[in-house]
Structure 1
Amino acid sequence: MRKIYLLLFFVLLAARAFSQDGITVCHTSSTDKFAVFASNKKFNREHPTPRPYTHVSVEGGKMIQYKTPDGQDANAYLVLNKTKTDNWIFVFQEWWGLNDHIKKEADELFKDLGNGNVIALDMYDGKATADRTLAGQYMQQFKQERGDAIVKGAIAYAGPKAKIGTIGWCFGGGQSLVATLNAGKQAVACVIYYGMPVDDVEKLKTLNTDVLGIFASREKYITPEIVKKFEANMKAAGKNLTVKNYDADHGFANPSNPIFDKAATEDAYKTTLAFFKARLK
């Protein structure tokens, strides 16, 4: 009997080690899957420290607070169009938090879109870092219930007539899709940059918009196999998904990332902008 217990102990120990190093993901939600990644040392090591960057906001760009349905306040970086418009882009951060790089992305989208408002949501409630260990902790501590409340508060802030597009990178890529589901009929466009997709076909059936997925073919985490499964799930849900794969690594579109791929980023952004413009007229 003792031998059986010892055998079970070593089997469990091996399984635990495999889940740590091989990143076995058995959770159902995209948020839980990213939390598993954040606990993995290899995943953390492959997120180099961002290059220093200080952003100077466009005219009108500012931090705001708004109420959320769970009785709390949320933070966001907002750029409002001088001409009243119901077009909105919700921007979702990488695992670093709402930092100056994300504010820069929001400003660029605002300028290039030309006919919309852009709001970058603070999904970590004021926490941001350039330390990958802390970033991993923040991502693990994130609760989707709070994230949903932040998004729903932003939808209420934008108003019932708002037409909402979403975009995010890495952790924010998954949140972009979740936010689109939360936006219901107000959603008009969703862009995911190398984020973990929702794999529940029944949830995907409730999508009200097309999805553009920007992925990296050299990914070790949001792998080509995960992307193919996402394509199959979207097809099963009867929804339209456009996928663009780049010969690049995870995080390639972040200019503050040492592995930044300028050519891939410019092409992906051109595709993203066209996607939004076609749906936010």
Structure 2
Amino acid sequence: MALERYLREEVAIDHADGYLSRREALRRLAYLGLAAPAAAALLAACARDDDSATPSRTPGESPAGPEPAPTEDITFSGPGDRDTFGTFAEASDPKGAVLVIHENRGLTDHIKSVAGRFATSGYSALAVDLLSAGGGTKEFDDEAEIMQQLSEAQPDDLVADMTAAIDELERRVPDAKIGAIGFCFGGGMVWQLVQSGEERLAAASPFYGTTPEEGPDFADSNAAVLGVYAELDDRVNATRDGAEAALQDAGLEHEIVTYPGVDHAFFNATGDNYDKAQAEKAYAKVTSWFDEYLA
């Protein structure tokens, strides 16, 4: 239910920001199990009453970070020996390894390029496809169906896929310390991975992701966590204080950074909220974090 509600809110915010027509938003909310009256009420509740979320992307702007290293689509053994899919980018002389978790649109070319950019920065990276149980992102032509599949998944099952991806990273990059980064939905998944107590996770950086609904508990984790937020992202920022308190309670090394003047998904160069200047700062910050805790 927590994933389903999160994804419904993502649709409503996209409509409020002008990225989805009302008709398309209602269609996607129907896929997510919301009847028309309830869907209309959610759209109304998320409507903007100001222009604070004016898109900031300039067409043709390049993504944050260096040019990506070559990537390779791979298949590896997941939970129950099921095929699990991902994209791997190998650093020439790896300082560590990074697991990359996608947004609510699945394993897109943008997320694959993020893995490639980390490889250029010295971290072999694997972007895992959390739609693997349904055959992978490639099996879905409709973003509404992708969101439906993710909303129906159990957090423990998604953590199992991420754990299998860490297994694969260990196989491909022996003896490397492992970090994780995720965006939007993927940011929430990174928080779930930290809460799972995965002992091989040395560092984590959730970008504008919500923490587990029942209240985060990171007592079993050893990861150094860099939480990244956007100043205008009120919905996700409502969970920020709780995340920081849980990190403090767990005694984890951590830092919370909120980038000014930007909204949710400001790091994604394919979206209208992209802000190159702040995305470049965020990329430099997270690579510095990984340099400290993984290299």
| TM-score bracket relative to the smaller structure | 0.7 to 0.9
Q: CA deviation at 1:169?
A: 0.3
- 2:107–2:127 CA contact under 8 A, matched in 1: yes
Q: CA deviation at 1:202?
A: 7.6
Please state whether the residue corresponding to 2:239 is helix, strand or coil. Answer: helix
Q: Which amino acid aligns with 1:238?
A: G
- 1:91–1:167 CA contact under 8 A, matched in 2: yes
Alignment of 1:217-232 (within 5 A): 217-223=231-237, 225-232=238-245
> C-alpha offsets along residues 31-56 of structure 1, whole Å, 9 cap, x if unaligned?
x4342022345234257379999x99
**C-alpha distance in structure 2 between counterparts of 1:217 and 1:42, whole Å:** 19
Q: Which amino acid aligns with 1:215?
A: Y
> C-alpha offsets along residues 218-244 of structure 1, whole Å, 9 cap, x if unaligned?
113202x31112112221222232111
Q: CA deviation at 1:275?
A: 0.4
- 1:210–1:240 CA contact under 8 A, matched in 2: yes
Structure 1 residues 217 and 81: alpha-carbon distance in aligned structure 2, compared to 1, 3 A threshold: closer
Q: CA deviation at 1:201?
A: 6.9
**C-alpha distance in structure 1 between counterparts of 2:250 and 2:68, whole Å:** 40
Structure 1 residues 52 and 89: alpha-carbon distance in aligned structure 2, compared to 1, 3 A threshold: same
Aligned to 1:62: 72
Aligned to 2:156: 145
Aligned to 1:133: 144
**C-alpha distance in structure 1 between counterparts of 2:293 and 2:265, whole Å:** 26
Aligned to 2:33: none
Aligned to 1:95: 104
**C-alpha distance in structure 2 between counterparts of 1:274 and 1:199, whole Å:** 30
Which of 61, 78, 82 in structure 1 is aligned with 2:88?
78
| Higher mean C-alpha deviation, range 212-221 or range 138-147 | 138-147
What is the identity percentage for the equivalent residue pairs of Structure 1 and Structure 2?
24
Q: Which amino acid aligns with 1:231?
A: E
Count of paired positions: 244
Superposition RMSD in Å: 2.9
Q: CA deviation at 1:262?
A: 1.3
Structure 1 residues 62 and 266: alpha-carbon distance in aligned structure 2, compared to 1, 3 A threshold: same
Please state whether the residue corresponding to 1:222 is helix, strand or coil. Answer: helix
Q: CA deviation at 1:258?
A: 1.1
**C-alpha distance in structure 1 between counterparts of 2:216 and 2:277, whole Å:** 37
Return 5+ residue gaps in structure 2 as ranges: 21-56
Which of 104, 112, 120 in structure 2 is aligned with 1:111?
120
**C-alpha distance in structure 2 between counterparts of 1:216 and 1:137, whole Å:** 26
Give TM-score, length-normalised by structure 1.
Answer: 0.76
Structure 1 residues 185 and 38: alpha-carbon distance in aligned structure 2, compared to 1, 3 A threshold: closer
> C-alpha offsets along residues 119-169 of structure 1, whole Å, 9 cap, x if unaligned?
000011212678553443233123323312212222222337442100000
Alignment of 1:203-218 (within 5 A): 203-218=217-232
Structure 1 residues 108 and 183: alpha-carbon distance in aligned structure 2, compared to 1, 3 A threshold: farther
Aligned to 2:127: 120
Bigger Rg, which one: 1
| Higher mean C-alpha deviation, range 95-104 or range 130-139 | 130-139
**C-alpha distance in structure 2 between counterparts of 1:263 and 1:130, whole Å:** 32
Structure 1 residues 161 and 86: alpha-carbon distance in aligned structure 2, compared to 1, 3 A threshold: farther
Q: Which amino acid aligns with 1:221?
A: R
Structure 1 residues 278 and 130: alpha-carbon distance in aligned structure 2, compared to 1, 3 A threshold: farther
Note if 1:175 corresponds to 2:189. Answer: yes
**C-alpha distance in structure 1 between counterparts of 2:276 and 2:82, whole Å:** 39
Structure 1 residues 251 and 135: alpha-carbon distance in aligned structure 2, compared to 1, 3 A threshold: farther
**C-alpha distance in structure 1 between counterparts of 2:117 and 2:282, whole Å:** 14
Note if 1:272 corresponds to 2:283. Answer: no
Alignment of 1:6-21 (within 5 A): none
Which of 247, 258, 267 in structure 2 is aligned with 1:253?
267
- 1:98–1:120 CA contact under 8 A, matched in 2: yes
- 1:199–1:230 CA contact under 8 A, matched in 2: no
Q: CA deviation at 1:57?
A: 6.7
Q: CA deviation at 1:87?
A: 2.0
Aligned to 1:195: 209
Give TM-score, length-normalised by structure 2.
Answer: 0.73
Q: CA deviation at 1:71?
A: 2.9
